[in-house]
Chain A
Amino acid sequence: MIADGVEDEEKWLAAGIAGLQQNAFYMHRALDSNNLRDALKYSAQMLSELRTSRLSPHKYYELYMRAFDELRKLEMFFKEETRRGCSIIDLYELVQHAGNILPRLYLLCTVGSVYIKSKEAPAKDVLKDLVEMCRGIQNPVRGLFLRSYLAQVSRDKLPDIGSEYEGDADTVVDAVEFVLQNFTEMNKLWVRMQQQGPAREKEKREKERSELRDLVGKNLHVLSQIEGVDLDMYKDTVLPRILEQVVNCKDELAQYYLMDCIIQVFPDEYHLQTLDVLLGAFPQLQPTVDIKTVLSRLMERLSNYAASSADVLPEFLQVEAFLKLNNAIGKVIEAQPDMPILGVITLYSSLLTFTLHVHPDRLDYADQVLGACVRKLSGKGKLEDNKATKQIVALLSAPLEKYNDIVTALKLSNYPRVMEYLDSETNKVMATVIIQSIMKNKTHISTADRVEALFELIKGLIKDLDGTLDDEVDEDDFKEEQNSVSRLIQMLYNDDPEEMFKIICTVRKHILAGGPKRLSFTVPPLVFSSLKLVRQLQGREENPFGEEESTTPKKIFQLLNQTVETLSNVPAPELALQLYLQCAEAANDCDLEPVAYEFFTQAYILYEEEISDSRAQVTAIHLIIGTLQRMHVFGVENRDTLTHKATGYSAKLLKKPDQCRAVYACSHLFWVDDQDNVKDGERVLLCLKRALRIANAAQQMSNAARGSTGSVTLFVEILNKYLYFFEKGNPQITVAAIQSLLELITTEMQSDSSTPDPAADAFFASTLRYIEFQKQKGGAVGEKYEPIKV
């Protein structure tokens, strides 16, 4: 059925072209023989082909173009004819004798063009006559093409300023009047197309109409090209007249297209100066018109204009462009209650971009825009519409991109309120964007208020928002997100400890709300950030005035204690243990013995109660030992308690080698080089001996279990400890002891049952080399080593 229609149309077009060509042929013959009468006759017949109603606009255009080409030749002929003495006025009358109106008007326009050129009559009179006479064609398609022909032939003959057709009687006003009238009539025809024909072909008609829209828009283009249309004329005549037509036509397609056309063809400067008029038209458009796109484009153009040169900015201020746009958008939204939320957001987003470009200094403007957006969003709940959410992200990203500085955005009080309307997924995306912006620009966020605001913004990452199920979250993504949060925490910094403390408190408040999953990511940076502050405070003199300082290391430690404690809920005992030890060390540096002791206690409790994995235990015990060794704040009693415990833990490790290593590590707890009160040689030796025993036991166990002794590595390691303390001058470590250990190792290595272990061999060899080296060094050390025989 439809295919048939298309086929028929092809046929009709072919027939039309054939008829046209045939008559064009006769017309050419008449032209060649200067036979005016025949030329008119055949040209009229040729143009009669354009009277068809059977072609779609697309096909009709094809036919029209052919006729157009022929008419150019005819026009040349008319020109020559007048040169030969034929009066142009007579010609003008003669063509009007044609009985059919369409050919008559095409001919009239063609002669009219020659008439204007001849300057025998004022251009404006001829133009006025032509545009009036064209009213005879009320069929939309034929009328549009005829009038576009008129527009085409008259284009270079308008009495524009500086044009040869400008005269006393012909002014640019007439040119404008002519184009406006033609435009108005064309638009009427174009709009009318929509109402004609059966309703079921509505879509087809719309399609056909869009194919024709440029014919109408061309007029606006011509207007914009007229030199004489200066700002005043544009403001007083051109724009009001166009808008009147646009508003009154009440046609969705036309209003959308024409508004866009106005915005695109006329200069930005004009738009700026006529903003109220232009914007005033928007609320009057049909409710279905896609105003957001048009308005967005206007704002986009104006933004670009503002960006093009700094000279134009005062103009924007002078006309209060922002206020006007803001009002207009408000009105449009009010006038179109059915506008989807996407449209609203798009509008505000464009306005925001505009204000950011034009008034970068007016943050309040940006905030106003966001505020208006919030008002519009309120009561709608979370956004479901995917596109709308994307648009909000764009809206929110705009200030970040512009200022490259989240601090500025944080001043926008409505910013977080807009974010509330995003679903949690998007909220996260947005939060990530914000964090990335901070990272990229290395923004300094240095007050607690801002931190508060910032965390309010990125709370999508900080805590679980309603309705998110954990299993939906991809593990990797989650880690990524939390890592970025951690990085962010590290970036919050202020030189003033007071403020820094506040920041820490704020951050803490927020991250604690984040739930166990996040804590293991967020607590460490916070702890380290706090410790940094502690170190900073520690470097200071006591407040000479004795005033009560609110921020003291003690206070921070209290806070830290509570913070780390939260990790037990996660649970992340290893992490907590590490953090406790870190804190303890910091407390040590601050000479806060009770605090340090408390931390150690916490760490020990964790070790005892929470850390059950043997590997984790090994790691933990080494950490404990390492930290404890460095502690100097403890009194003898405390230290004893802690050391004792540590040694006890070491001996209770599951695997013998681990036991052995932990125990010999413990030896360091009794001998700290730079602390004279911790130099208990006897207990060091005890530890080492114990380690040796364990190593032996390990060997035997290995022998019993596998039939071969294990490697001698442990012995070599212990040997190294011996050598260390020997060198440090521990009187309990004697040459004899070393000597016997050396022999023991050698024996073990030569024993049949031993498994060869190249690493251990190498280790031992290099230890021996060390001894040799020390010997040869001479001096006090050399003397000390001298007795050892290898």
Chain B
Amino acid sequence: MNYLVGAFKPPCNIFISFADGRSRKQVPLKKENGKTVMVALFQSQENIVGEVVIEPIQGKKVEHNGVKIELLGQIELYFDRGNFYDFTSLVRELDVPGELYERKTYPFEFSTVEMPYESYNGVNVRLRYILKVTISRNYVSNIVEYQDFVVRNYTPPPSINNSIKMEVGIEDCLHIEFEYSKSKYHLKDVIIGKIYFLLVRIKLKNMELEIRRRESTGSGPNTYVETETLAKFELMDGAPVRGESIPIRLFLSPYELTPTYRNINNKFCVKYYLNLVLVDEEDRRYFKQQEITVYRLLET
């Protein structure tokens, strides 16, 4: 029985590990099967160093046409599932063709790897980085092992960060002026601002601030736009009168945001919006949407 099972199992186990695996920061990554695993975190221009251990199963030999390790940056569009677009692909040959009888360790190193895009798991698109070890074989299928890792890129605080200030309204009905202190926020930032009521002739019930993520994928006629509301944050309860000003203080940390991605390899983009919604007593909604830029500030 054991024998039979062994016949279909790959004849060896492959382990991929990072040289600084113990000290490197681990972040959760959601896999296709829905499970979350902890994987290593890198940023662009880092050296990715580690080793691959191939361990043939006891009493078996592995004949191969060579062993290689690849570092791949892939974009997968869900409408085109299974088709990966590699925007980065680096290869290191680990072994010349031959046979493996016993456990063997191959160190590898990718130096200053250019990884301009961050790992991303969206509604319609996924961007991922993997290390792929391939043992090529004749006549039988290659033995392949993957190791995911996550890339995050940090941006310094922007030198220009204007506030967003705007007066909007419906003529003779509602005039408000709102202000968000900045237009660019880092992921743990806090949105400070205020809404000033210049004219109120409708009976408002409440007001909330939404954080919306707009992910658009594809291009041309095949553009898919998906908008998610990530946060609904009530700012005001009750009906204000003219002259009232309502403070805004929204901490971004509880929400799972990513930085704004303007254009990722012409495949997709992710943008964030603040949507100010006023609801009147008849549940009519009045809103105004403003784009904000989200960036990742190096955590200290």
Q: List A residues at the B interface (Cβ < 8 Å).
A: 51, 93, 96-97, 99-102, 104, 132-133, 135-140, 142-143, 192, 196
Q: Which single residue of chain B is at the shortest CB-CB distance from A134?
A: B247
Given contacts A136-B246, A138-B244, A138-B246, contact A143 B251 (CB under 8 A): no
Q: Quick check: A138 and B238 within 8 Å, CB to CB? A: yes
Taking CB atoms, residues of chain B closer than 8 Å to A96 are 249, 251
Residues of B within 8 A of A196 (CB): 239
Task: Check B220 for interface membership: any CB of A closer than 8 A.
Answer: no
Measured CB to CB, the nearest residue on chain A to B200 is A138
Known A93-B251, A97-B251, A99-B232; contact A136-B237, beta-carbon cutoff 8 A? yes
Task: Indicate whether B202 reaches chain A with its CB closer than 8 angstroms.
Answer: no
Which residue of A has the minimal Cβ distance to B254? Answer: A97
Task: Give Cα distance in the complex from A133 to B251, angstroms.
Answer: 14
Contact of B240 (CB < 8 Å), options: A93, A101, A104, A138: A138
Q: Is the CB of B241 within 8 A of A192?
A: yes
A135 & B239 in contact (Cβ 8 Å cutoff)? no
CB B280 to nearest CB in A, in angstroms, measures 13
Q: Are B239 and A139 in contact (CB under 8 A)?
A: yes
Quick check: is B149 within 8 A (CB to CB) of the other chain? no
Q: Is the CB of A101 within 8 A of B236?
A: yes
- Min CB distance A495 to B, Å, is 77
A67 to chain B, nearest CB (A): 15
Which A residue sits closest to B203, measured CB to CB?
A: A196
Q: Is B76 an interface residue (CB 8 A)?
A: no
State which of A93, A100, A104, A135 has its C-beta within 8 Å of the C-beta of B246. A135
A-B contact pairs, 28 of them (CB 8 A): A51-B237, A93-B251, A93-B253, A97-B251, A97-B253, A99-B231, A99-B234, A101-B206, A101-B234, A101-B235, A132-B247, A133-B249, A135-B245, A135-B246, A135-B247, A136-B234, A136-B235, A136-B237, A137-B236, A137-B237, A138-B238, A138-B239, A138-B241, A138-B244, A139-B237, A139-B239, A140-B238, A142-B238
A138 to B239, CA, bound (A): 6
Q: Is the CB of A143 within 8 A of B254?
A: no
Cα(A138)–Cα(B195), bound, Å:
13
- When chains A and B are docked, how far (Å) is the Cα of A96 from the Cα of B235? 11
Task: Tell me, rounded to whole Å, the shortest Cβ–Cβ distance linking A109 to chain B.
Answer: 14
Q: Lowest 4 A-B CB distances belong to which pairs?
A: A139-B238, A138-B238, A101-B234, A138-B240
Q: B106 in the interface, Cβ–Cβ < 8 Å?
A: no
Question: Across the interface, which residues of A come within 8 angstroms of B239, CB to CB?
Answer: 138-139, 196
Q: List residues of B whose CB falls within 8 A of some A CB.
A: 206, 231-241, 244-247, 249, 251, 253-254
Expressed in whole angstroms, the minimum distance between the Cβ of A438 and any Cβ of chain B is 62
What CA separation (Å) do A369 and B122 show in the bound complex? 84
Q: Are B237 and A102 in contact (CB under 8 A)?
A: yes
A143–B241 Cα distance when bound, in Å, is 14
Q: A135-B244, A138-B236, A138-B240 are in contact. List 19 more A-B contacts (CB 8 A).
A: A51-B237, A93-B251, A96-B251, A97-B251, A99-B234, A100-B234, A101-B206, A101-B236, A133-B247, A136-B234, A137-B237, A137-B238, A138-B239, A138-B246, A139-B238, A139-B239, A142-B238, A192-B241, A196-B239
Asked if A143 contacts B244 (CB within 8 A), the reply is no
Give the nearest-CB partner of B206 in chain A. A101
Which residue of chain B has its CB nearest to the CB of A189?
B238
Beta-carbon nearest neighbor of B204 in chain A: A138
**Which A residues lie within 8 Å of B254 (CB)?**
97
CB-nearest residue of chain A to B245: A135
Q: How far is the CA of A49 from the CA of B153 in the complex (A)?
A: 44
The answer on a CB contact under 8 Å between B247 and A101 is no
Return the chain A residue nearest B241 by Cβ. A192
State in angstroms the CA–CA spacing of A135 and B206 once bound together: 13
Our pick among A97, A99, A101, A133 for the contact of B237 (Cβ within 8 Å) is A101
Q: How far is the CA of A138 from the CA of B241 in the complex (A)?
A: 8
Q: How far is the CA of A97 from the CA of B234 in the complex (A)?
A: 10
A-B contact count (CB 8 A): 53
Q: In the bound complex, what is the Cα–Cα distance between A138 and B279 (angstroms)?
A: 14
Q: Which residues of B contact A139 (CB under 8 A)?
A: 237-239
CA distance A196 to B202 in the complex (A): 12
* Chain B, residue nearest A132 (CB): B247
Interfacial chain A residues near B253, Cβ < 8 Å? 93, 97
Neighbouring A residues of B249 by C-beta, 8 Å: 96, 133
Alpha-carbon distance between A780 and B253 when the two chains are bound, in angstroms: 141
Name the residue in A99, A135, A140 with the highest tally of chain B Cβ atoms < 10 Å from its Cβ: A135
Docked CA distance A139–B251 (Å): 24
Minimum Cβ distance to chain A for residue B87 (Å): 36
A99 contacts across to B, CB distance below 8 A: 231-234
Cα distance A262–B236 in the bound complex, in angstroms: 31
Closest residue of B by beta carbon distance from A104? B234
Chain B residues with CB below 8 A from A51, complex form: 237
Write out the residue numbers on chain A whose beta carbons fall within 8 Å of the beta carbon of B240: 138
Taken together as a complex, chains A and B put the C-alpha atoms of A100 and B233 apart, in Å, by 7
CB < 8 Å neighbour of B247 from A93, A100, A136, A143: A136
- Separation of A137 and B253 alpha carbons in the complex (Å): 24
Shortest distance in angstroms between A89's beta carbon and chain B's nearest beta carbon? Answer: 12
Q: Which chain A positions have C-beta within 8 A of B237? A: 51, 101-102, 136-139, 142
Minimum CB–CB distance from A233 to chain B (whole Å) comes to: 27
Q: In the complex, what distance in Å separates the CA atom of A263 from the CA atom of B22? A: 73
Check A143–B238 contact: CB distance below 8 A.
yes
Q: Which residues of B contact A138 (CB under 8 A)?
A: 236-241, 244, 246
Question: Which partner residue on chain B sits nearest A102 by CB separation?
Answer: B237
User: In whole angstroms, how far apart are the Cα atoms of A138 and B249 in the complex?
Assistant: 16
Query: Nearest Cβ distance between residue B65 and chain A, in whole angstroms?
Result: 54
- The residue in chain B whose Cβ has the minimal distance to the Cβ of A146 is B237
Write out the residue numbers on chain A whose beta carbons fall within 8 Å of the beta carbon of B235: 101, 136
Closest to B236 in A: A136
Smallest distance from the beta carbon of A138 to chain B beta carbons, Å? 4
For residue A136, which residues in chain B have a CB less than 8 angstroms away from its CB? 234-237, 246-247
A102, A135, A138: residue with the most chain B Cβ atoms closer than 10 Å: A138
Q: Which residues of A contact B245 (CB under 8 A)?
A: 135
Residues of B within 8 A of A104 (CB): 234
In the bound assembly, the distance between CA atoms of A504 and B233 in angstroms comes to 93
Docked Cα-Cα span, A51 to B247, in Å, equals 19
In the docked arrangement, what's the CA distance between A707 and B223, Å? 152
User: In the complex, A140→B237 CA distance in Å?
Assistant: 10
Distance of A132 Cα from B182 Cα, bound (Å): 20
Nearest-Cβ distance from residue A125 to partner chain B, whole angstroms: 14
Q: In the complex, A136→B246 CA distance in Å?
A: 5
Least CB distance from A254 to B in Å reads: 15
Cα–Cα distance between A196 and B203 once the two chains are bound (Å): 9
A139 and B236 alpha carbons, distance in the complex (Å): 9
Q: How far is the CA of A96 from the CA of B209 in the complex (A)?
A: 14
Set of chain A residues within 8 Å of B233, measured between Cβ atoms: 99
Q: How far is the CA of A100 from the CA of B253 in the complex (A)?
A: 17
Measured between alpha carbons, how far is A657 from B229 in the docked complex, in Å? 128
Which chain A residue has the least Cβ–Cβ distance from B234? Answer: A101
Shortest CB distance A718–B (Å): 109
Least Cβ distance of B10 to chain A in Å? 43
CB distance from A687 to the nearest CB of B (A): 109
Q: How far is the CB of B159 from chain A (nearest CB, A)?
A: 27
Residues of B within 8 A of A132 (CB): 247
Query: Please, which residue of chain A has its CB at the minimum distance from the CB of B197?
Result: A138
- Compute how far the CA of A101 lies from the CA of B246 in the bound complex, rounded to whole angstroms: 12
Complex: how many Å from CA A133 to CA B248?
8
Nearest CB in chain B to that of A100: its residue: B234
Q: How far is the CA of A101 from the CA of B253 in the complex (A)?
A: 17
Which of chain A's residues have a CB closer than 8 A to the CB of B247?
Answer: 132-133, 135-136
Give the complex CA separation of A104 and B248 in angstroms.
13
What is the minimal beta-carbon distance from A49 to any residue of chain B, in angstroms? 14
A132 to B249, CA, bound (A): 11
Nearest A residue to B190 by beta-carbon distance?
Answer: A93
Enumerate chain A residues within 8 angstroms of B238, measured Cβ to Cβ.
137-140, 142-143
User: How distant is the Cα of A614 from the Cα of B237 in the complex, in angstroms?
Assistant: 99
Q: Tell me, in angstroms, the Cα distance from A137 to B231 when the chains sit together.
A: 20
In the bound complex, CA of A493 to CA of B243 (Å): 75
Least Cβ distance of B126 to chain A in Å? 28
Q: Smallest distance from the beta carbon of A57 to chain B beta carbons, Å?
A: 14
Cα–Cα distance between A135 and B238 once the two chains are bound (Å): 10
